[in-house]
Copies of this chain bind each other. A is one copy, B any other.
Amino acid sequence: MSLTNVAVVGFGYWGPNLVRNLCELDNCRVKTVCDAQASRLNTVRRRYPSIEATQDWRDLLSDPEIDAIAIATPVSTHYPLAKAALLAGKHVLIEKPMACSSEHCEELIDLGKRQGKIVLVDHTFVYTGAVRKIKELIRSGEMGQIVYFDSVRVNLGLFQHDVDVMWDLAPHDLSIMIHLLEKTPVAVRAVGLTLPELKHTSIAYLAFEFDDAVIGHVHVNWFAPVKIRQTLLAGTRKMIVYDDNDPSEKVKLYDKGIKLATREDIYQTLVQYRMGDMSSPKLDQTEALLTECRHFIECIQGRCEPESGGELGLQVVRVLEAASESLRSLGQRVEVKGRMLSAGAAA
């Protein structure tokens, strides 16, 4: 088994999770961690004495032993860091969102292709047992035609300085939605609220149109007293509630729906409910980031294609761009630019 050497840039909130999971892999070695703050590097040295710690990210580029760089820095630095890494011949794993603009995403995708290097975007939820099981249920046809996707992701906290709540939280919901529905919305309307004295939008509602009858909706909120992570997904035959907070039964599949009947004596159509059993499938309990890190290394070692590659990262950013434009115009309908993701190309 070959060994891939990885460096991690950024040891703030998410970086430590990347390092911890990469360290669990047999075919991977975390060679270097880079962060601008010396105190964080001290933590690295205490926890992982064998890992090199540096404040200068150019050390990573010039180290010929490093095969890949995982980028867990503020969003605005994703593009320059990833570009430099690719140009230096490194594979990249980029924290979500992929970049601040779709142009930058496209450039990174192209550069990855030209350099023959893997570009993986860290849309972690795609690798959860829950989302993988839901995708399986949709693909099997068991749910019928999907009718809507509704997601609520609220809690108190983690007000970001560099991005608003949409760019911070909605990438999770958008990556899940695009991955599950296997298509990108054609248009979005977004409204929101900036709290007094703050500069970024802290609460936002995003409503999506698709090129068919499906609708999508995402509510992201940094200013809520409780943590809610709940997605409703309705098909014409079955419906799902995906509650990421539920420790034991995250996915519940309801055999519920409506059936139409026509009573002959009257002209109107009768809507009746069909109420059946609920079941909660057993899910793979592996930490999603471990699955993702393993997948990243396997892509690098040539054994598979990224499930959350640059294309998914790009679609998410395109939707965010459209949502931002809509938010600025107080909810005007804004089309998502660029070609839509064709079915089956969700990676």
Contacts and interface: CB of A to CB of B under 8 A. Distances in A.
Contact of A273 (B48, B148, B157, B273): B157
Contacts of A154: 232
A336 B215 CA distance: 25
Contact of A148 (B23, B193, B234, B239): B193
A245 interface: yes
Given A46-B23, A50-B50, A148-B193, A241 B217 contact: no
Interface in A109-148: 145, 147-148
B225 A239 contact: yes
Contact of A23 (B47, B161, B205, B252): B47
Query: What class of interface size applies to chain A in its complex with B?
Result: 35 or more
Contact of A224 (B207, B209, B239, B280): B239
B197 A269 contact: yes
A279 B207 CA distance: 33
A294 interface: no
A152 B152 CA distance: 10
A31 interface: no
Contacts of A277: 279-282
A203 interface: yes
Q: Chain A: interface secondary structure?
A: strand
A195 B278 CA distance: 22
Interface of A: 23, 46-50, 145, 147-148, 150, 152, 154, 156-157, 159, 161, 189, 191-193, 195-199, 203, 205, 207, 209, 213, 215, 217, 219, 221, 223-227, 232, 234, 236, 239-241, 245, 247-249, 252, 254, 256-258, 260, 268-269, 271, 273, 275-282, 330-331, 333
19 contacts: A48-B49, A49-B49, A49-B50, A147-B223, A148-B223, A156-B257, A156-B273, A157-B273, A161-B268, A193-B215, A195-B258, A197-B269, A198-B258, A205-B205, A217-B219, A245-B247, A249-B278, A331-B331, A331-B333
